[in-house]
Amino acid sequence: MFPFAFEWVPEATRYVFMGSLYAVLISLIIIMHYCVIRAFLDLICPKKNHNNH
Amino acid sequence: MDSASAPFDSALFPEGVKRCKLKWFLFWIAVLHGPLMVGIVATLMCWGLALNVTYLNNNYPFGLWIAADLGVIALGAGAFFTGFLRYVVNIEELKNIVNYAVVIGVMCYASAQGILGIDIGQPLRGWFIFWHANVHSMLTEVAFCITCYFMVLCIEYLPLILENRQINKFRFFHGMAHHLHGAMPTIAAIGVFLSFFHQGSLGGVPGVLYGRPFAYREGFLVWPWTFFLFILSAIACGPCFTILITRITEGCARKRLVKRNVIEILAKISGRLLAVYLVLKIVDTLYWIVIAGRVGAPLSSFYVNQPYGYWVLITEIGILGVIPAIILLNTKARQNDSLLIIACILNCTGIFMNRWIMTVQSLAVPVMSFDKFVSYHPNWVEYATTFVFVWVSAIVIMLSYRYLPIFPQEKELNPL
């Protein structure tokens, strides 16, 4: 539920719960995008010393 | 191995390892599909004919499914705790088992969500808990954390898939796997945060039932003591489940996949945590006996109805708690393979029993003077739908073992 939904009740618990959920989801989305973008950049400008792991 | 005798799909195997012939692999997959189909039929019955095909009723809205759900989530704690030890505490040796812990964790959490998908009766309304969230309920927190943590586990599993020998030939996927490995400490830290709260909140759910003296506990701020006991018990048994599944895999593959010192580290940590948990659990139980007695619910009233006699308390804490703790704490005992396996089995069974007690037995104990004890035994539909996830997990583990580089030490331990 988003704060602009009519069912949203402005109370501390709701901000903590939903805020934590969105914080985690946004963190995961950022990490995935970061990895995809870095992999794409490596593809178009390859580095010489890319260590295999 | 020469190319003529190599299995048909050998190009997909990790570099430098040996796998069985494809026909045997397919044979075992087909064998697992037998019980799997029974489970799928039972699942369709639950969805098509509603939950009255089960033995759940108004006395027992929580039954085998919820106990199994809590059990597999606790067993899946091996993933987050091993990840925590590897990436946050930085125990280097655990890099040799953390991949497998992730695979096991993914399957545990997928199973938990699958069981819930059947348990809620109408899975099409599963999204209600996110949109119409009751933010005062610990179960909402559990639902949020389990969903998010399952995403975390899938992200942790992704680089393993991308490191498949053929997929890894694509430079983009190779780079993606590389960068995901780099981001793993952050992902592991998010996983620890999520796991800490949902493992605890699962314990908090029975602990806040102040109308049920059998389950109710006092606590710290909004968290009952069961919140902390559930976290401790999960991190104590999760590594044991990882050891157990690793040993079963080694038995099926007929080779060593992980070095002894890695197993030793996990067993030692698990033993110490189990000992701490048991001390706190015994203190909690003694305190609960005194407090419940003062409010008119003596201990005997909780254990008067069969099959939930005193044997439940003795088995849970003594046989399935103290015995594995002693084995895991004793260096010589845990170095003995058979004893280690027995300790792991007892520990994992103990966690299931604890979750059953905190959910099903909590509902079984009559509360009002006019309440009557009603017994509950799951029927075949409940068993089949619960075990369906065991068969699915076995298939996923078999596929992962065959095609993904899960065990970094396999090549060294089994030279071709």
Per-residue confidence (pLDDT) for residue A48, from 0 to 100: 63
How crowded is the C-beta side of B164, counted as CA atoms within 13 Å?
17
Per-residue confidence (pLDDT) for residue B375, from 0 to 100: 87
pLDDT at A52 over 60: no
Per-residue confidence (pLDDT) for residue A49, from 0 to 100: 58
DSSP assignment, residue A45?
S
pLDDT tens track for B125-135: 888 988 888 88
> Which H or E run includes A40?
helix A12-44
Task: State mean pLDDT over B61-87.
Answer: 93
Q: Is A26 on the interface with B (CB under 8 A)?
A: no
Q: Is A30 on the interface with B (CB under 8 A)?
A: no
pLDDT at B1 over 60: no
Task: State mean pLDDT over B200-223.
Answer: 89
Per-residue confidence (pLDDT) for residue B221, from 0 to 100: 84
Tell whether A3 is covered by a domain.
Answer: no
Q: Is A1 on the interface with B (CB under 8 A)?
A: yes
The pair of structure tokens assigned to B304 is 């008067």
Tell whether A51 is covered by a domain.
Answer: no
- Band of pLDDT at residue B139, cut at 50, 70 and 90: confident
Per-residue confidence (pLDDT) for residue B321, from 0 to 100: 93
pLDDT at B58 over 90: no
Tell whether A8 is covered by a domain.
Answer: no
Question: How far apart are alpha carbons B194 and A23 in whole angstroms?
Answer: 12
pLDDT at B2 over 70: no
Tell whether A49 is covered by a domain.
Answer: no
Tell whether A7 is covered by a domain.
Answer: no
Percent of chain B with pLDDT over 90: 73
pLDDT tens track for A13-37: 889 889 999 999 999 999 999 999 9
Domains of chain B: 10-365+374-413 (1.20.1630.10)
Question: How far apart are alpha carbons B375 and B386 in whole angstroms?
Answer: 20
pLDDT tens track for B342-354: 999 999 999 999 9
| Chain B, nearest residue to A43 by Cα | B172
pLDDT at B326 over 90: yes
Give phi and psi for A45, each to the nearest 5.
-130, 85
Task: State mean pLDDT over B23-50.
Answer: 94
Give phi and psi for B145, each to the nearest 5.
-70, -40
Residue in the block written with tokens 């845990």 = B334
For residue B148, give the nearest of A5, A25, A53 by CB distance. A25
Residue in the block written with tokens 């973008």 = A37
* Interface mutation target, options A9, A15, A16, A31, chain B, most CBs of B under 10 Å: A31
Tell whether A40 is covered by a domain.
Answer: yes
Strands B223-224 and B219-220: antiparallel
Task: State mean pLDDT over B119-140.
Answer: 87
* Interface mutation target, options A18, A22, A28, chain B, most CBs of B under 10 Å: A28
pLDDT at A50 over 60: no
Question: How far apart are alpha carbons B37 and B384 in whole angstroms?
Answer: 9
- Band of pLDDT at residue B336, cut at 50, 70 and 90: very high
Number of structural domains found in chain A: 1
B235 vs B6, more confident? B235
Task: State mean pLDDT over B331-340.
Answer: 93
pLDDT at B6 over 80: no
List chain B residues with CB under 8 Å of A22.
none
Residue B95 near residue B80 (C-beta atoms within 8 A): no
- Band of pLDDT at residue B415, cut at 50, 70 and 90: confident
* Interface mutation target, options B137, B169, B172, B197, chain A, most CBs of A under 10 Å: B172
Percent of chain A with pLDDT over 70: 89
For residue A7, give the nearest of B132, B140, B179 by CB distance. B132
pLDDT at B3 over 70: no
**Residue B303: CB atoms within 10 Å:** 17
Question: How far apart are alpha carbons B60 and B62 in whole angstroms?
Answer: 5
For residue A42, give the nearest of B152, B175, B194 by CB distance. B175
Question: How far apart are alpha carbons B313 and B319 in whole angstroms?
Answer: 10
A10 vs A38, more confident? A38
Task: State mean pLDDT over B176-182.
Answer: 94
Mean pLDDT across chain B, nearest whole number? Answer: 92
Q: Is A29 on the interface with B (CB under 8 A)?
A: no
pLDDT at B25 over 90: yes
Tell whether A37 is covered by a domain.
Answer: yes
User: HEC states along chain B?
Assistant: CCCCCCCCCHHHCCCCCCCCCHHHHHHHHHHHHHHHHHHHHHHHHHHHHCHHHCCCCCCCCCCHHHHHHHHHHHHCHHHHHHHHHHHHCCCHHHHHCHHHHHHHHHHHHHHHHHHHHHHCCCHHHCCHHHHCCCCCCHHHHHHHHHHHHHHHHHHHHHHHHHCCCCHHHCHHHHHHHHHHHHCHHHHHHHHHHHHHHHHHHHHHHHHCCCCCCCCCCCEECCEEHHHHHHHHHHHHHHHHHHHHHHHHHHHHHCCCCCCHHHHHHHHHHHHHHHHHHHHHHHHHHHHHHHHHHHCCCCHHHHCCCCCCCHHHHHHHHHHHHHHHHHHHHCHHHHHCHHHHHHHHHHHHHHHHHHHHHHHHHHHHCCCCCCCCCCCCCCCHHHHHHHHHHHHHHHHHHHHHHHHCCCCCCHHHHCCC
- Band of pLDDT at residue B31, cut at 50, 70 and 90: very high
Helix (H, G, I), strand (E, B) or coil at A48: coil
> Do A17 and B132 make contact, defined as CB atoms within 8 angstroms?
no
The pair of structure tokens assigned to B197 is 């709260």
pTM, to two decimals: 0.93
Report ipTM (2 d.p.): 0.88
Question: How far apart are alpha carbons B85 and B79 in whole angstroms?
Answer: 10
A22: domain range?
18-44
Task: State mean pLDDT over B188-194.
Answer: 92
Tell whether A36 is covered by a domain.
Answer: yes
pLDDT at B388 over 90: yes
pLDDT at B264 over 80: yes
Task: State mean pLDDT over B376-401.
Answer: 95
Per-residue confidence (pLDDT) for residue B220, from 0 to 100: 87
Burial of B251 (0-12, 13-18, 19+ CB in 10 A): exposed
